[in-house]
Amino acid sequence: MVSKNQIKLITSLQLKKYRNEHQLFIAEGVKVIQELLLSNFVLDHLFVTDAIFDQVGDTQKTVVKEADMKRISVLSSPSSCLAVFQIPKENKIEAKGLIVALDDIRDPGNLGTIIRLCDWFGVKQLVCSTETVDVYNPKVIQATMGSITRVNVNYVDLGQFIAETQLPVFGTFMDGKNVYNENLPKEAILILGNEANGISESLEKSIKNRIAIPRFGDIQQTESLNVATATAIFLSEFRRS
């Protein structure tokens, strides 16, 4: 049984304003919740339609009807479980190794996919501009498939961060140098820009290394690669060495 107040609280967490107010976020689906339970994230409450997640005690778990799950779920086809977790304190930035920086990524699916890519390619630190979509947006959490537990995400003034770093800075631009011909270092910052506008002009000035994925089509009409698929290729290039 879910009370009216619980429904109101949980659905309010779809908005950043209320996530910040309550310091809580939603995760849905067995795989994502399983990974969060195995990590340092702290569970607030778990709602399930079946007898799953035995490791969670009854004080923190409520069995609900499918109709109630539909009421609290963000998904058009709800899964068998929805969990509310505490938003952890932001860790300090680990300014070493390969770091990915995002300049105003707006699409939750793109951010989630990029976090999953960071995890695959051993990138432990993701730095986001303050205008980038919130990592605790339910659609981001969903798209990370649990990788959120292994990637440190910080929101910063990206201009200041770039100005202060000792690491070499690489920015991705349509007119950049062919990434396949570049010598890419093990430690660096790789910046990806907004879906529609790319990297902002104010940031562009402080980026020394401009790189691009060359087009191979005969007819040069393809507008651009999606930012998540571009991130996949750039990370692959940094790691393959």
> Interface with a copy of itself by CB under 8 A: which residues?
31, 35, 109, 113, 116-117, 119-122, 145-147, 150, 180, 213, 215-219, 221-223, 225-226, 228-233, 236-237, 239-240
Q: Least separation, in Å, of the C-beta of 108 and a copy of itself?
A: 13
Report the residue number, 65 or 106, with the smaller CB distance to a copy of itself: 106
Report the residue number, 18 or 120, with the smaller CB distance to a copy of itself: 120
185 phi/psi in degrees, rounded to 5:
-75, 165
Report the residue number, 89 or 240, with the smaller CB distance to a copy of itself: 240
Pick from 17, 136, 122, 119: nearest CA to 83: 136
Contact (Cβ atoms closer than 8 angstroms) between residue 99 and residue 128: no
CA distance linking residue 19 with residue 86, whole number of Å? 9
Report the residue number, 70 or 150, with the smaller CB distance to a copy of itself: 150
Per the DSSP assignment, residues forming a β-bridge with 171 are 191, 210
Does residue 214 sit in helix, strand or coil?
Answer: coil
Radius of gyration of the chain (CA): 20
Q: Is the dihedral of CA 206, 166, 115, 71 positive or negative?
A: negative
Q: Least separation, in Å, of the C-beta of 98 and a copy of itself?
A: 9
Q: Least separation, in Å, of the C-beta of 202 and a copy of itself?
A: 27
Q: Least separation, in Å, of the C-beta of 39 and a copy of itself?
A: 10
